[in-house]
Amino acid sequence: MATLNDLKISEVKLSEGEGGKWGMVIDQDICTGCQACVAACAMENNISFVGEEDSGYGRSMHWIRIERFWEGEYPEVKMTPNQPMLCQQCGSAPCEPVCPAFATVHSQAEKLNLQVYNRCVGTRYCANNCPYQVRSFNWRDYKRPEPLANQLNPDVTVRRRGVMEKCTFCIQRIHKAQDQAKAEGREVMDGEFTTACAQACPANAITFGRTDDPRSLVSQLAKRRGHGAKHLEELGTLPNVTYFKGG
Amino acid sequence: MTDHKNHAEHAEAHLREKHLMLDPLPRGRMNEMVMESMRHITWKFWVVFGILAAISAYGLFYSWGVMIAEGLGVAGVNRPVYWGIFLVNTVFWIGISHAGTFISAILRVFKAEFRRPFTRAAELMTTFGLVQAGFSIFMHMGRVWLSYWLMPYPNQRLLWPNLHSPLSWDLLAITTYILGSTMYLFLPLIPDMAMARDRSTGWRKTLYKILALGFRGTEGEWTHLRNAMNIFAFAIIPVMFSVHTIVSWDFAAATRPGWSSTIFGPYFVIGALHSGMGAVITVLAIIRGTMKHMKYFIRPEHFDAIGKLMLIISMTWAYFFFNDYMVQWYGGDKWTKQLLHFHEAGPMGWMWFAMLVCNVVIPWAILWNPKWRSTPWLVSTVGIIINVGMWFERYIIVPISLTINRMPFTWRMYQPGIEIPLGIGTLAFFALLYMAASKLIPLIPVWEVQEGQMAHELKKFGRETVVTVSELE
Amino acid sequence: MIKRFFDWLKQPLGLIAVGIVFLALFSIAAYGLYTTQQSPEQPIQFPHKTHVAFGIQCLYCHPGASKGPSAGLPSQAKCWACHNQIQKTQTSALLAPLKDAVLSGQSIEWVPVAIVPDFVQFNHRAHIAAGKNCEDCHGDVSQMNIAENPQVMNMGWCLNCHVESAGEDQEKLVKLTDCGTCHY
Amino acid sequence: MAESKIVDILAVFPDLEPAADAIEHLRSLGVHDECMNVISGIPVTEAMLGRPSQWTNVPRIAMGGAILGFGAGVFLAFISPYVYPYPVQVSSQAFVPGPPTFVVLFELTMLGMLLSTFLGVFLDSLFPNYRPMKYVPEVSDGKIAILVECSHVEENKITDALKKLGAESVKPAEAQHL
Amino acid sequence: MSEKFSRRDFLKLAGMGAATTAVLTGCGPASRYVKREPYQQMPEYNYNGQSTYYATTCRECAAGCGLVIRTIQGRAIKTEGNANHPLNLGKTCARGQATLHGLYNPNRVRGPIKHARGDRLYAKANDPFNDNFDDAEPNMSWDEALQTVADALTKYKPEEIGFLMGMAPDHLFDLVTDLANATGINAPVRFGALGMFESRATLSKAAETLFGEARMPFFDVGGAQVVLSFGANFLETWLSPVSYTRGFASLRQAETKMRGKLVQFEARMSATGGKADEWVPLRPGTEALVALAIGRLASEIRGGAMPRVFSSVDPIDVASKSGVKLEALEHIAAMFANSTGALAIPGGAALGQSNGLAVAEAVLALNALADNFGKPGGVYFSPLAPSQTEYQRPASAKEMQDFVQKMKDGKFKALFIHGVNPVFELPASMDFKGALANVEQVISFATFPDETAAEADFIFPDHHGLESWGYQRVVTGSDLPVLSGAQPVVAPYYDTRAAADVLISAAQLAGGSFAQALPFKDEVEFLRGKVSALMGEANGSFSAMDAVAFMASFQQFGGWWKMSDGRTAPSAADALNQNVKGDAAEFAGEGEFFFIPFVSPTLAEAGANKPWLQELPDPTTTVMWNTWLEMNPETAHELHIEYDDVVRVVSEAGAVELPVYVYPAIRPDTVAMPFGQGHTAYGRYAEGRGVNPADLFGGHFNEAGDLAFAGMKVKIEKTGKKRPLSRLESMMGVYGVGLGEEH
């Protein structure tokens, strides 16, 4: 193993150098699966609802979903800790290189995984290549009957059919906060804003912030609780969401 | 003595009857036969043509229009099966297209003489198959009206296609291949167009005159043509290999269980040849059975020869399949294991077994026998079965493998929707194009056959009469 | 018949006819394109020129530009605050729509001329803060009557300026050319 | 001057042998190789007729095309990623990814080569060409036609010689619509 | 020659050119199709493109969470929690988030309507994406409407006039109460299905029995170390889910203490049970026994005299009756006894049984054993809201039955209904709909075209919660006494009018004592009067010089609350000396399965018309857009039922057909089903979707008068039909369905 590592030293360094900027810590131990984050995300990001038939066929457009499995059999059955699954904003994202149109690229400025809706031509390769299966595709033009469209958030593009979409870490809020901070001549403060899901979560299971700032709450949490895990880390995707299973 | 002589004459007659190359007709007569095969259009032709046109119009163009207007929701794709039958069909048609190049380029390079009468029939399949592949891949796109963004062209956004993406390579490779194979189809067609020009009147005369480009058959023209064809024959082989290898990389480059396999390149290439050969032999049997004078040009010897190739390719395919399976199985990754198990024992397990039966069991059981593989209906049936099997193979690789991923919470089966009319539409459109072409351009490259007949003769070695070929070039 | 037609086309007069037809089609197309590039009809023939000449600053009527994403159109109340005191408002035919609108409480439906598609998130404030002047993008409005859009506001145009203003500052360049800066 | 008038004679031979003989004979009659051309329905090599080998530019044009294609590949693979003001990053891959550049270079080289080969045939053979040309349609039935360019004075002599050598027909060639 | 080129050809050509132009013009800049209407009068604090935030109160359930609504140019676009609000501290549940889908729902009552009872209020259109307005057209003016209300008030004797209202103790309730007090009309009755499922009457009755005060208890989950929950689904819809979820989070992850444990006793694993460290599937009806047995075992561990309340129970007997192993009981009792912060919560289906009151008493007695009253991690009385002198409990089901009986007896001639949908929410066996036939005039103030509105003679639609003024008393969930404030965040979208305004205006029209009772110009004046009464109170969250400023701050902060802990400790004196009847519950009906209805955590009673709530997966089953019947896999196997098979559930009172969800965490002798769907009206997203378990409920009550909704046994009959449920989870990945047999 050591020799192998030696051989790949340059690559390893490259990956480690790809530090994230924004990150999230999710505490599965206190996540109650209440779906408030899902609803908040849908409301903030103009996500379409798809109706009974399509949602049952795996076409629901949730950007965040709460996974739960079962362990054991009755009466010793247990529900596994709820696992909110959203775009992990990988530092080395498998979805990015496979898009032929550069519609999903890595933001150098925010270190996020961008999805440029209008550049998307709908090959859906990125979604295939996403190990977390967190991308959703606009299978149809899911209409919002009037006057439901009044609720749409003007800060987020409304997507049409044939376009891939996914969690953006509420980049519109990031921009807004940065713009505000800049106008006031200061840096963005930790906790000044947060993502829609983290904002809604009644259990405070989701924390969002700067992972590159050791003083931020996310960094503190990650350090304090120590035993956090990243999903499918073995694939080398460098995810920016840390999970605490707890218990 | 006379007995012996009789016997020798009999053997010679038998050889001449068996081999097209030894059974020359006066060239004028042969030209006339080819012309007649084009001109001879029966009411049955129009009926089939009409039916195919209707199916294409509904299955391909109308359904596609509906899908563009409504979105991909009318198809069966979902999460996690983001790619469905469209990609299956794309791979399938690219596979079919490989036969033409294989026959007309590789066999040409190696001077396999049996290729002569059907190189064009095979090349037509290449071109028309690629057209269907192109349709299929464009259907698959969510916003096909923006597909020009995948083309490299200067633009005010200063953005060029992402050449990190296997799909971009695909686009380059398929473009190269479709252009190359069309040109390669056209070059040897020029002399035959000239021949047809000289023998037709009316609109056909105009058509052939345009297509013949003013070819007369002067020494210079022949030299340029021969040179070009040689370059093409050599150059298009690596292009052909690259195309299907790159198609395989669409899958192999992905971080998915069951897909990231290093053997996918050659496995796909051989799979393409497998289905391509099966398709060629099917088409040859149909041409032979339905078109006038074709029994003269396409003979059991050809079926025998292609049959042998099919057998070899089937064995190679089996080897690669096992190789892939073995390595995936041995790797022991839990998701891959789950996927392999799902392939065999899942609800679509029947397809996995059917694939093996169609691609291996049936071809091996029939093609080993020279008599059977010389029987056009039998061997073309095997060809169809192989194509069914290869379609299954792609179906297993695309939608069935996509069902299983590293997030079990999302696993879901795929039920095709509008893909079915669209798939049938491409098949009908392929047949439609082929039928139209069969009445517009000579399916038999007459000059190549004539050249071959000039080069072949019988020679006696002691008491045995054998076929010899002189190398003319 | 067709052959005769083609034969006719080949002689000089025919060639001239072909030329005329081509020219005609080309000019119709060009005219069509031209019409698409005209300033749209506005409910009021608003003279920016006059207003600027009175020394009214852009931000007086479009204060949002310095405060947020959208510059905004002045409310009718704002128009009326001045116009109410101007004698001409009562008589001018040009101003009749304003008067009607204010008195009847109807909205004036302006047609925007400078617009970016909805997949572009444009923020006026950041641009003003970066020292851009209104006329850098909107042209010299003091010379215009009804607002015209002097630019083709496409991505290349945006990028050009972004790259220029980044200059040598690599970090700024990264930020200003990041896809996520405008598209989300 | 009467000598300077050039005429074309078109002789049609039933087979390869007499045609080859005729060419040899014509040469002995002082007709230069460049003044002869053979029209055939199948590719007859120069060697069969004892003719000097033909010059063709096709391989050179193909090579040129390959180089152009390679150049386009170099542009796409190495330069286009830097056209955008700041290179667009995907995953942790380099802006110019290593292995994929080979794919791009290969495909574009081949595309350039194939396109130019095809084009080369057109250029070398002056295709397409719909003007009237000297031609006999029977060549596709296996006849070999020889087109001889000679001066007016020699016309009769050559015609006779060709007839004697087994030509089925010898006549002054006339350009016709094909 | 040129004459061949005729004039006609030229015209044709010109036509072609025109067509080309048209096409090309169509390709022009998108801007030419956009119209922009500036404000006529720009609100002073508004800028184009900038959000304005308004504090208000969530009306999706009765908890009273504070919201801040983000608006842009007069449109409400996002719900955010009010970070200062003591109840929810900036958090919201999914229903609060989706409240905008109520505001902008495609099916609302768009103005005052008079219609024949039972007529549709919108065209039947189940297409969720249909773009057409299909609501019934308003057919009267508000003047006529006011006159109608005034006539109804004056035409009938005061005692013939009834008010049925939603569960939230809000300003409208105060207004009607004032009206009733002044004029002698019947006092308003508050009811809500959530209250029914929460058995609020049982909780307060138990508190009264044990502690001598009929109050709403508050359980400090966050401060506890070991929490035994007897059926309380406090992470879902119970009482104040956001506040209790916060408590749960600090139970698990408080900075200063160990990770606390949750033990859930219930026959069907709820979302709360799913989060529990131990889930104890006891036999339904034996909760009281189990609680007493744990009390006895814990007392034994603690030593000392055995409290009277636990003395008569035999743990071995309880183990066999409840199906919980004795070792398990002992283990839990040990955990409870040895913990410094033990807490026991009664709730959910445990209380909705014939012995529900006994369960509540037994469980509260456990707390007495733990001696946690008034201590962190223990039981408190919820603070009384400002200006409140006693706990105002909503009507129990028994009281509703009496109400319905009065309707049937013709004692009500005019009935006003606001904020509640009894035709849907009450058990079908109570036949509220039938009883309405005996009421001469039914006036509904429904915002949405719900089932009750469809049975009314008049619908005088109230604003949506986000369009209206008001306040609401927070009943429980916060340690502070909170009066949560509401204000319109957007202008009313339709021609609706606040019910309070309607009543005030109608009272003026009616004159006499009515006019005297409500001497206000409008709702806001009434509100200001009520709110400014708090000005003098000490220790408030803000103070102001005058009523106007006070009201402004009240709006700005989203309410007024006292800054001191308003919780009180129940008296523990007698709690352990009670005699709790620990018998197992009795079950009505013939069937072989216990039946547990539970409130859908995502939809609750009124969320079904919000499309995004419909598309939220249920936390336990991940089902969207439908109702299901949960059944143990073993049972399903025995009955040869597979997932998605439609079965018929037959109770003594009715029958419904619905698909089966084979649920691994439910007792084999129990089936369960969510409440929230099965609407026969209520807009395109709700109607015709799923079934309503209220159709199965019989008229049985517990001793406190709450409905014994879980006190039933049902039969399951196969129908042979199949109806696929839309689920987010994968049947393959989660249950291994269709993955093939293992080798």
List of residues 6+ apart from A224 with CB closer than 8 A: none
Q: Does D88 sit within 8 Å of C173, measured CB to CB?
A: no
Least confident of B253-267, C164-178, D128-142, E511-525: D128-142
Beta carbons of E674 and E689 less than 8 angstroms apart: no
Across residues E133-138, what is the average pLDDT?
A: 80
By three-state DSSP, how is residue E629 classified?
A: strand
- In chain B, the domains with their CATH numbers are 41-469 (1.20.1630.10)
pLDDT at D92 over 70: yes
Q: Does A102 sit within 8 Å of D92, measured CB to CB?
A: no
* pLDDT, position C71: 86
Q: How many CA atoms lie within 13 A of E438 on its CB side?
A: 15
Q: Residues for chain C: how many in total?
A: 184
Is residue D1 assigned to a domain?
no
Instruction: Please indicate, yes or no, whether residues D67 and D119 belong to a single structural domain of this protein.
Output: yes
Residue B21 to residue E536: CA distance in whole angstroms: 115
Whole-angstrom CA distances from E405 to B69, E402, E411 are 57, 5, 9
Angle at A195 between CA A192 and CA A197, to 5 degrees: 135
The residue of chain B with its CA nearest to that of A119 is: B149
Q: Using a CB-CB distance cutoff of 8 angstroms, which residues of chain A are in contact with residue B79?
A: 58-59, 127, 133, 135-137
Q: Is chain C in touch with chain D: ≥3 Cβ pairs within 8 A?
A: yes
Give exposure, E643-660, as e/b (b: 16+ Cβ within 10 Å): bbbbbbbbbbbbebebbb
By three-state DSSP, how is residue C16 classified?
A: helix
**Reported confidence tier of residue C1, pLDDT bands at 50, 70, 90:** low
Residue B447 to residue B212: CA distance in whole angstroms: 14
What does residue B432 show for φ and ψ, rounded to 5 degrees?
-65, -50
The total of other beta-carbon atoms located within 10 Å of residue B454's CB is: 18
Alpha-carbon distance D54 to nearest alpha carbon in chain A (angstroms): 46
Chain B CB within 8 Å of residue A141 CB: yes
* pLDDT, position C37: 67
CATH classification at residue D156: 3.30.70.120
What amino acid occupies position A4?
L
Nearest to E628 by CA among E598, E585, E665, E590: E598
Q: Does A132 sit within 8 Å of B407, measured CB to CB?
A: yes
Q: At which residue do the structure tokens 């080069």 appear?
A: B455
Of residues B2 and A23, more confidence is placed in A23
What share of chain E has pLDDT > 70, as a percent? 93
Instruction: Please indicate, yes or no, whether residues D67 and D107 belong to a single structural domain of this protein.
Output: yes
Beta carbons of E739 and B338 less than 8 angstroms apart: yes
Chain C adjacent subunits, 3+ CB pairs under 8 A: A, B, D, E
Chain D CB within 8 Å of residue A105 CB: yes
Instruction: Please indicate, yes or no, whether residues D65 and D85 belong to a single structural domain of this protein.
Output: yes
Residue B61 to residue E500: CA distance in whole angstroms: 61
Is residue D16 assigned to a domain?
yes
Is residue D22 assigned to a domain?
yes
Chain E CB within 8 Å of residue C14 CB: yes
Q: How many CA atoms lie within 13 A of A237 on its CB side?
A: 27
Give exposure, A109-126, as e/b (b: 16+ Cβ within 10 Å): bbbbbbbbbbbbbbbbbb
Residue C20 to residue C14: CA distance in whole angstroms: 10
Q: What is the rounded average pLDDT for all residues in chain E?
A: 90
Which of C3, C152, C159, C179 has the highest number of chain B CBs within 10 A, making it the mutation to test binding with B? C159
Of D56, D114, D130, the CB nearest to B235: D114
Residue E580 to residue E273: CA distance in whole angstroms: 26
* Cα separation of the two ends of chain D: 32
Virtual CA dihedral for D54, D58, D64, D67, nearest 10 degrees? -130
Of B150, B255, B415, the CB nearest to A100: B150
Residue D142 backbone zone (phi > 0: left; psi -120 to 50: alpha; other: beta): left
Is residue D150 assigned to a domain?
yes
Of E733, E738, E740, the CB nearest to B410: E733
Of B345, B346, B409, the CB nearest to E733: B409
Between chain C and chain E, the number of residue pairs with CB atoms below 8 A apart is 115
Least confident of B414-418, B425-429, E118-122, E710-714: E118-122
pLDDT tens profile E282-304 = 999 999 999 999 999 999 998 88
Across residues B448-460, what is the average pLDDT?
A: 88
pLDDT at A10 over 60: no
Chain D CB within 8 Å of residue A18 CB: yes
**Reported confidence tier of residue E132, pLDDT bands at 50, 70, 90:** low
Q: Using a CB-CB distance cutoff of 8 angstroms, which residues of chain C are in contact with residue B157?
A: 154-156, 159
Of E729, E738, E742, the CB nearest to B347: E738
Chain E CB within 8 Å of residue B403 CB: yes
Q: Is chain D in touch with chain E: ≥3 Cβ pairs within 8 A?
A: no
Chain B CB within 8 Å of residue A120 CB: yes
pTM: 0.92
Q: What is the largest CA-CA distance in chain C?
A: 76
Which of E25, E31, E70, E72 has the highest number of chain C CBs within 10 A, making it the mutation to test binding with C? E31
Tell me the angle at which helices B27-39 and B446-455 cross, rounded to the nearest 10 degrees.
Answer: 150
Q: Using a CB-CB distance cutoff of 8 angstroms, which residues of chain B are in contact with residue C156?
A: 155-158
* pLDDT, position E18: 44
**Reported confidence tier of residue B86, pLDDT bands at 50, 70, 90:** very high
By three-state DSSP, how is residue E721 classified?
A: strand
The residue of chain A with its CA nearest to that of C118 is: A157
Nearest to A58 by CA among E610, B346, E733: E733
What amino acid occupies position B193?
M
Residue E304 to residue E309: CA distance in whole angstroms: 14
Chain B CB within 8 Å of residue A70 CB: no
Alpha-carbon distance B167 to nearest alpha carbon in chain A (angstroms): 6
Q: What is the residue range of D118's domain?
A: 58-124
Beta carbons of B287 and B45 less than 8 angstroms apart: no
Instruction: Count structural domains, chain D.
Output: 2
Alpha-carbon distance A77 to nearest alpha carbon in chain C (angstroms): 43
Q: What is the rounded average pLDDT for all residues in chain B?
A: 92
Q: For residue B143, count CB atoms less than 10 angstroms from its CB and return exposed for 0-12, middle for 13-18, buried for 19 or more.
A: buried
Instruction: Please indicate, yes or no, whether residues D30 and D84 belong to a single structural domain of this protein.
Output: no
List of residues 6+ apart from D96 with CB closer than 8 A: D77, D78, D81
Of residues C39 and A26, more confidence is placed in A26
pLDDT at E678 over 50: yes
Which of B101, B108, B149, B160 has the highest number of chain D CBs within 10 A, making it the mutation to test binding with D? B160
Is residue D151 assigned to a domain?
yes
Residue E444 to residue E419: CA distance in whole angstroms: 9
Is residue D136 assigned to a domain?
yes
pLDDT tens profile C139-158 = 888 888 877 777 778 899 99
- In chain E, the domains with their CATH numbers are 113-190+392-474+480-561 (3.40.50.740), 196-381 (3.40.228.10), 593-735 (2.40.40.20)
Across residues E524-532, what is the average pLDDT?
A: 92
Which DSSP state fits E707?
A: B
pLDDT at E674 over 80: yes
- Residue spans of the domains in chain A: they are 18-244
The total of other beta-carbon atoms located within 10 Å of residue E517's CB is: 21
Q: What CATH class is the domain A18-244?
A: alpha beta
Q: Is chain A in touch with chain B: ≥3 Cβ pairs within 8 A?
A: yes
Residue E482 to residue E464: CA distance in whole angstroms: 22
Q: What is the interface pTM, i.e. ipTM, of the complex?
A: 0.91
Alpha-carbon distance D98 to nearest alpha carbon in chain A (angstroms): 13
Q: Does C181 sit within 8 Å of A105, measured CB to CB?
A: no
Across residues D102-122, what is the average pLDDT?
A: 95
**Reported confidence tier of residue E126, pLDDT bands at 50, 70, 90:** low
Nearest to B276 by CA among B357, B350, B181, B352: B181
pLDDT at B126 over 60: yes
Chain A CB within 8 Å of residue C183 CB: yes
Q: Using a CB-CB distance cutoff of 8 angstroms, which residues of chain E are in contact with residue B410?
A: 730, 733
